[in-house]
A and B are shown apart, each in its own frame.
Chain A
Amino acid sequence: MKNVLTQSKDTLQLVTVLIILCIFAAFLSKGVFIQPVNLTNILVQNSILMIVALGQFLIILSKGIDLNAGNIVGFTSVAIVLTQGYGTGLSVGVTLIAALVIGAITGCLVHFVKLPAFVVTLAMSQIVYSITKVIGGGAAVYTGTDGTPISPVILEIYSVRMLEIPLPVLMSAIAVAVVALYLKTTTGHFVYAVGGNERTAAISGLPIARVKISVYLLSAALGCMAGLMFVARVGLGDPQAGDNLTLDSIAAVTVGGASLSGGVGKISGAVIGVLILGVLNNILNLLNVPPTIQPAIKGAIILLAVYLNSVKG
């Protein structure tokens, strides 16, 4: 019971931080900030980070870390563009399978060979980046290998609205729903136990292999989704598409209260963590803070947020 109470308090605290930031932003912008257009813009701008952060969240929850998150986005963006000649469905499908293979290899190395996730994903990120450059010729790609331009179906993702909601926001909402549902399945349910104490989980007979590998598979699939959205947003595939996403996603997840030692964190926290970073970016722009110093301020705020989180715990 106490546990439930403290957990809901954590979420409350994060929501409070988010609301304070929003009020601050509203004053700064003389009300422009809270206009629905600006609010949906923040959601649209951060939908890719949201999707990547969800995958990162699952892996961190299982006591891992994914340094490959960004490079999977880069790889899938290039692969989707290069395979445009086969039609949109097949192109995305083939890319998804490739991403899942990467996820499966990572998961197997982490679980069966018992290598630390940090090192495995560091090595995998080098390998994936390298493969991306080889298939794409090292630079950004604009058309399929046979010269087929990027399908309008993909390019329209960022202009389509469904029920007045922009499609990217809807897609990130779907991703949130999928991860939330996964955590409710028999496998996903055990991620907390495996991340909290793998040994105890093993003695209790939990399906550790299934839990750990499924986490890496799911996050690779989310990476593929983010890659697709990158292509839609920018209109090209770029090996460096995810350069900032890896560390930004880790920052968002930790700001959201998840612990890098595994087993602690809530999906609502991860979502709010992404939103806090997004609103923060917006505020820095509203304040006319020169973009050059923004990384420094963001870094300091991440430290502060994680510090506050660690003190109360």
Chain B
Amino acid sequence: MEKVFFDKAFGVLNKYSAIIALAIVVLYGALFVPNFLREANMTAILYQYSIIGFLALGQLLVILTGGIDLSQGSFVALTSVVAATIMVHAGAIPAALGALILCGGLGLVSGIIVAKTKIPAFVATLGMLGIGRGLAKFIANAKPIPIQNDLFKSLGRAELFGIPVCFLLWILVCILLFWFLKKRRLGRYIYAVGSSEESARLAGINIARTKMFVYMMASLFTAFGGLIWAARLGSASPIGGMNYEMESIAAVVVGGGSLNGGVGSVLGTAAGVLLFGVINSILNLSGISPFWQGAIKGIIILLAVAISQLQRRRNSKYK
């Protein structure tokens, strides 16, 4: 009886570990860190981490199918550069659309490579990382491009009731994605493909199409993050977004996602993103050297994965 209770408690703890951790960290920040609850600090976190947030949602989709997307960081740079280049000749909206279409297209190419060849996702998106970075540098001639368009810049600066619009958009997309993964057929297929490709195939699921969709969506989310990034910065940079893919992978993993596929949730991922944001902010406000941030991040990732691993081992022991 006691064992069952503990197992249940442990299961809940594991399922919501990122949310629980986020709650604890926010509580700690509110109680012990001066200025943490100040509006300026809060909005700063929300601005910065809605970018990683979009990337993480895309990464979640890919990881759910058992893949991985390493091209995100370079796609952030590519989107910013493409949008800025188009903006010189046309308005903000064609620029944003052009960037989204290009990145979505490249994502579709990754998807086709992963779905139709035996190249593992890691290598396919590693190649795309190089292609994205090269294109970005080539288009921008290796120089940053300033962005003058006020409409475009408002994407990274506008606020509604004191809350950044880009954060509200992110929350909206989170809700839509949550609904999509839970209720839509294609959403369920994504989990099925990641859990067992063989069973999914036998069940008549079109695996190739599911994968292509997932990589294209991931790149679209990434491109959206890239647009916010450029709007916030007021400039496009071909060397921007370096290693952002690692941040998004970390957020998904801390949010309970498994790199083997089939396990992960929008809720956990969102909590993972915000967890890193809040911890960084607390470290900054407490005057701890920013140099330590990576170490703390690394330890959190290890702890999160160790907990979920422990849970999985327990499950397999009692079954």
Q: Do A and B truly interact? A: yes
Interface positions of A (Cβ within 8 A of B) = 65, 67, 109, 113-116, 118-120, 122-127, 129-131, 133-134, 138, 247, 250-251, 254, 260-261, 290-300, 302-303, 306-307, 310-311, 313
Q: Which of A120, A126, A303, A306 contacts B297 (CB 8 A)?
A: A126
What residues on B are CB-neighbors of A250 within 8 Å? 122-123, 126
Q: Find out whether the CB atom of A292 lies under 8 angstroms from the CB atom of B138.
A: yes
Contact B289 A134 (CB under 8 A): yes
**Contact A247:B129 (CB < 8 A) given known A134-B292, A292-B137, A307-B117:** yes
Question: Measured between alpha carbons, how far is A300 from B299 in the docked complex, in Å?
Answer: 35
In whole Å, how far is A306's beta carbon from the nearest beta carbon of chain B?
A: 5
Nearest CB of A to B45, in Å:
19
A254 and B294 alpha carbons, distance in the complex (Å): 28
Cα separation A120 to B132 with both chains bound (whole Å): 27
Going nearest first, the 5 A-B pairs with the smallest beta carbon separation are: A296-B134, A299-B130, A130-B294, A126-B298, A130-B295
Q: Which residue from B68, B133, B291 sits with its C-beta under 8 Å from A133?
A: B291
Q: Apart from A122-B246, A124-B298, list 10 A-B contacts with CB within 8 A.
A: A119-B301, A119-B305, A126-B294, A127-B299, A138-B291, A293-B134, A295-B134, A299-B128, A299-B132, A303-B123
Q: List 17 A-B contacts (CB under 8 A).
A: A65-B122, A109-B302, A115-B302, A118-B259, A126-B250, A127-B299, A251-B123, A260-B122, A260-B123, A292-B134, A292-B238, A295-B133, A295-B137, A298-B130, A299-B131, A303-B124, A306-B123
Q: Are B301 and A122 in contact (CB under 8 A)?
A: yes
Pick the contact of B141: A134, A292, A297 (CB < 8 A). A292
- Min Cβ gap B283→A in Å is 11
| A127 B123 Cβ-Cβ under 8 A | no
A114 touches B129 (CB 8 A): no
Which listed residue (B118, B138, B260) contacts A290, Cβ 8 A? B138
Q: Are B302 and A296 in contact (CB under 8 A)?
A: no
Within 8 A of A (CB), among B236-282: 238, 246, 249-250, 253, 259-260
Measured CB to CB, the closest approach of chain B to A284, in angstroms, equals 11
Chain B residues whose C-beta falls within 8 Å of the C-beta of A251 in the assembled complex: 123, 126
Chain B residues near A131 (CB, 8 Å)?
295
Bound: A22/B295 CA distance, A = 44
B130 and A295: CB pair below 8 A? yes
Q: Decide if B294 touches A113 in the complex (CB within 8 Å).
A: no
B97 interface hit (Cβ, 8 Å): no
B306 lies within 8 A of chain A by Cβ:
yes
* B113 is an interface residue with CB less than 8 A from chain A: yes
- Chain B residues near A311 (CB-CB < 8 A): 117-118
